[in-house]
Homo-oligomer: A and B are copies of this chain.
């Protein structure tokens, strides 16, 4: 498949795919005229990359970790990086959960004040 189709299927932009290649995250075969051609598995790979970006990993870190995600093998150093990212994500989840709970409390208080008539109705 060519780059446009991959972009659509993976839900990213064409520019993003070229950027991933530039970062070494996504290889591509080239047709004689130079157009990129991807196997079907590229869709999953791109979505995995997206997932890792969303989790706050940098291109460089993803580059380090992608191989072992596929092979299941890792050097001790890579294993350390894996554990580091895992615990970072864990901490982030804890922080986000606390923030969410705080927003919940604010929402509850605000809704109560609306119910109490503290805010004039929009129809006024």
Mark out the residues of chain A between 100 and 124 whose CB falls within 8 Å of any chain B CB in the assembled complex.
Answer: 100, 102-104, 106-107, 109-114, 118-119, 122
Main secondary structure on chain A at its contact with chain B?
Answer: helix
Task: Specify how many copies of this chain sit in the oligomer.
Answer: 2
Mark out the residues of chain A between 72 and 110 whose CB falls within 8 Å of any chain B CB in the assembled complex.
Answer: 72-76, 78-79, 82-83, 85-86, 89-90, 92-93, 95-100, 102-104, 106-107, 109-110
Q: Is A54 an interface residue (CB 8 A)?
A: yes
Partner of A106, one of B69, B98, B119: B69
Q: A99 to chain B: which residues have CB within 8 Å?
A: 51-52, 54-55, 89
Q: Is the CB of A93 within 8 A of B97?
A: yes
Interface string of A36-77 (1 = CB under 8 A from B): 000000000000000110110000000001001100111110
What are 24 of the A-B contact pairs (CB < 8 Å)? A51-B98, A51-B99, A54-B96, A55-B95, A68-B106, A68-B110, A72-B106, A72-B109, A72-B110, A72-B112, A73-B109, A73-B118, A74-B113, A74-B119, A76-B122, A79-B107, A82-B106, A82-B110, A86-B103, A86-B107, A89-B99, A92-B96, A93-B97, A93-B100
